């Protein structure tokens, strides 16, 4: 059985079906239970996240992470996994990173310096065998254009444009994410 670590998004409504990550986590658990041991730790202060706290939590959560493991991050969770690998654990190896509806910090209306990725961050991701980007065109929280910014910085990342899934991927055809995870 392979390990999958899911890092949820931020906000005061982590369990809100339209914006939070809980419905997506429950869906992935139902779909992947036979093949993956899924951990979804609760990150510190999701209603008022601070980069240092989330990075410290990831340090703890990803100790002894297996090379064939899969990392999945929704919204802030995906952005923080990327920051964690680029800043703290460049040697982290994983079958892949799945980023769902992730903000690119530094874009207009997303300028919070503590979450900025370091210059040249894409060169520090060599341990991640594959990077899959998923974003729904109807995301009302994180602009769909953020996926293109990630792809510009990480050209090897595989883009998956989705319709009708919203920010939380709580509706629409979410099986594309399951297929992506299984492909890693």
Q: Where are the domains of the chain?
A: 2-182
Residues 67-125 pLDDT 10s: 999 999 999 999 999 999 999 999 999 999 999 999 999 999 999 999 999 999 999 99
* Token pair in block for residue 57: 């939590």
CATH T-level topology, domain 2-182: Rossmann fold (3.40.50)
Output the pTM of the full model. Answer: 0.96
Residues 161-179 pLDDT 10s: 999 999 999 898 899 999 9
Average pLDDT over residues 33-54: 96
CA torsion angle 148 21 175 107 (round to 10): 0
- Residue 105 to residue 116: CA distance in whole angstroms: 5
b/e code 29-66 from CB counts within 10 Å (16+ = b): eebbeeebebebeebeebeebebeebbebbeebbeebe
DSSP 172: S
- Residue 30 to residue 24: CA distance in whole angstroms: 10
User: Please, are residues 74 and 103 in contact by the beta-carbon 8 Å criterion?
Assistant: no
């Amino acid at each position: 059985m392979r390990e999958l670590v899911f890092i949820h998004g931020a906000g005061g409504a982590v369990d809100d079906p339209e914006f939070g990550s809980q419905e997506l986590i429950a869906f992935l658990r139902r779909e992947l239970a036979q093949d993956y041991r899924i951990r979804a730790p609760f990150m510190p202060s999701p209603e008022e996240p601070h980069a240092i706290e989330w990075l410290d939590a990831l340090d703890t959560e990803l100790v002894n992470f297996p090379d064939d493991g899969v990392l999945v991050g929704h919204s802030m969770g995906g952005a923080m996994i990327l920051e964690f690998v680029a800043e703290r654990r460049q040697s982290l190896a994983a079958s892949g990173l799945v980023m769902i509806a992730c903000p690119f910090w530094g874009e207009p209306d997303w300028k919070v310096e503590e979450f900025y990725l370091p210059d040249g961050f894409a060169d520090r991701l060599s341990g991640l065998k594959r990077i899959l980007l998923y974003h729904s065109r109807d995301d009302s929280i994180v602009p769909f254009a953020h996926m293109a910014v990630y792809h510009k910085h990480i050209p090897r990342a595989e883009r998956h444009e989705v319709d009708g899934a919203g920010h939380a991927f709580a509706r629409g055809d979410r099986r594309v994410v399951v297929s992506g995870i299984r492909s890693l």
